[in-house]
């Protein structure tokens, strides 16, 4: 079992206080957006044996187990994070595995550098993800019913939004959503800035259901993503609730602290709320234009106290143990690799004492026993 020393990424949208509060340290005044736990080459966790990338590369079958290596290759297939949003993240969507392989191969053939700002595919993998709230957590997830989206836009009383309202009423669901998103992202930039400004003013005045979009517009004035965001479901998670985000589902995190797990990939197609590259044709190829319920997940408890967040993905499996006072040790030994993360209280994992925000890597087959009073998240794979 290896105690992990993890990197905190200072993205501009990060909260300045949430991660320091969790860790019990003084804020630096700078945004602290994500703490990464895993073997992503961009910021691998560090152990006494070297980085987790180096540890796994030295003996993949020993660290990951034969079955995981056979299924996913000699790498840890998931990345675990603590995510602290102090401002909205970009409106985005992720490709499925086939789309990622095709897109990556195409950009490789065209000789686009992996670090080029207009590159869409950094790897050939998909990026399904799960976010579990540690605090109240706001996000956008999946398209609203077009008629509900039309009502929301119409309620702003902005004349230049009327064509979008009419489109949402005039077509079948998928065609309506596709046409409106396309129109928003390809509109004249100056005209769109004026429309967004008028919409933001109306959102601020109206409040209520419009409040999240007023806040988005405050952070991204004039951005067409403000209007695109109104096509999506607004979701407010309570602590312990989660969202699963599969391929093709447009989404954005707005505010709050959570535990996030994802397949080990960097592939993101952006729709707005960002100064970064937006590839509209490729985005429209990837987005699934079906209205959907965001589907809030609540963990399913097993007799041994494990609470599992069920998803259709094998690259990761997230669960948690809420350990009350007076309970004995839990045996978490598995034949697959694990990362154990404490988010509350004080727990003991093996010989490691863990407080909030501290974590360990458990190689496949190694004994893993946890005890104490607190909450432990367990990240592993399905083989």
pLDDT at res. 370 = 95
Q: Which residues 6+ apart lie within 8 Å of 261 measured at CB?
A: 78, 79, 80, 81, 129, 130, 316, 318, 379
pLDDT at res. 275 = 86
The reply to whether 144 belongs to the active site is: no
Cβ–Cβ under 8 Å, residues 80 and 379 = yes
- Running DSSP on this structure, what letter comes out for residue 5? B
Torsion-angle region of 208 (φ positive above 0: left; ψ -120 to 50: alpha; else: beta):
left
pLDDT at res. 256 = 98
pLDDT at res. 1 = 92
Q: Of the residues 3, 75, 144, 270, which is catalytic? A: 270
The first and second tokens of residue 355, run together, are 């407080």
Q: Which residues of the chain have pLDDT under 50?
A: none
pLDDT at res. 209 = 95
pLDDT at res. 170 = 87
pLDDT at res. 41 = 87
- Report the 10 Å Cβ neighbour count for 254: 24
Encode pLDDT of 240-253 as tens digits.
999 999 999 999 99
Angstrom CA distances, 84 to 24, 33, 89, 132, 193, stand at: 15, 5, 10, 12, 29
pLDDT at res. 326 = 75
Tell the residue number behind the tokens 């790498």, with chain if given.
Answer: 75
Cβ–Cβ under 8 Å, residues 90 and 278 = no
Separation CA 362–CA 360 (nearest Å):
6
pLDDT at res. 23 = 96
Q: Give the predicted TM-score (pTM) of the model.
A: 0.94
Encode pLDDT of 128-158 as tens digits.
999 999 999 999 999 999 999 999 999 999 9
**Count, residues in the chain:** 383
User: Judging by DSSP bridges, how do beta strands 232-237 and 300-301 pair with one another?
Assistant: unpaired
């Amino acid at each position: 079992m290896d105690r992990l020393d993890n990197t905190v990424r200072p993205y501009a949208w990060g909260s300045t206080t949430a991660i320091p509060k969790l860790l019990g340290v003084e804020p630096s005044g700078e945004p602290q957006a994500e703490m990464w736990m895993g073997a992503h080459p961009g910021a691998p966790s560090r152990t006494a044996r070297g980085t987790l990338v180096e540890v796994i590369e030295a003996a993949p079958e020993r660290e990951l187990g034969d079955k995981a290596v056979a299924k996913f290759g000699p790498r840890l297939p998931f990345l675990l994070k603590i995510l602290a949003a102090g401002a909205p993240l970009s409106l985005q969507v992720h490709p499925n595995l086939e789309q990622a392989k095709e897109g990556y191969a195409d950009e490789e053939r065209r000789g686009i550098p992996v670090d080029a700002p207009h590159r869409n595919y950094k790897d050939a993998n998909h990026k399904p993800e799960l976010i579990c709230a540690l605090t109240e957590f706001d996000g956008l997830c999946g398209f609203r019913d077009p008629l509900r989206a039309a009502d929301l836009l119409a309620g702003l009383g902005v004349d230049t939004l009327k064509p979008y309202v009419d489109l949402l009423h005039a077509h079948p669901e998928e065609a309506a959503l596709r046409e409106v998103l396309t129109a928003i992202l390809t509109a004249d930039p100056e005209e769109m800035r004026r429309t967004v400004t008028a919409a933001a003013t109306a959102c601020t005045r109206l409040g209520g259901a419009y409040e999240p979009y007023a806040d988005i517009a405050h952070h991204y004035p004039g951005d067409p993503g403000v209007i695109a965001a109104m096509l999506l479901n607004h979701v407010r998670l309570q602590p312990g609730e989660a969202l699963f985000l599969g391929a093709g589902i447009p989404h954005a995190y707005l505010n709050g602290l959570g535990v996030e797990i994802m397949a080990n990939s960097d592939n993101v197609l952006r729709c707005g709320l960002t100064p970064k590259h937006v590839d509209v044709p490729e985005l429209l190829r990837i987005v699934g234009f079906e209205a959907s319920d965001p589907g809030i997940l609540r963990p399913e408890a097993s007799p041994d106290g494990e609470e599992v967040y069920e998803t259709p993905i094998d690259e990761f499996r997230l669960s948690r143990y809420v350990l009350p006072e007076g309970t004995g040790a839990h045996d978490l030994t598995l034949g697959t690799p694990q990362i154990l993360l404490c988010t509350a209280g004080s727990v003991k994992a093996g010989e490691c004492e863990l407080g909030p925000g501290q974590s360990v890597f458990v190689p496949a087959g190694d004994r893993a026993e946890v005890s104490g009073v607190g909450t432990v998240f367990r990240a592993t794979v399905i083989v």
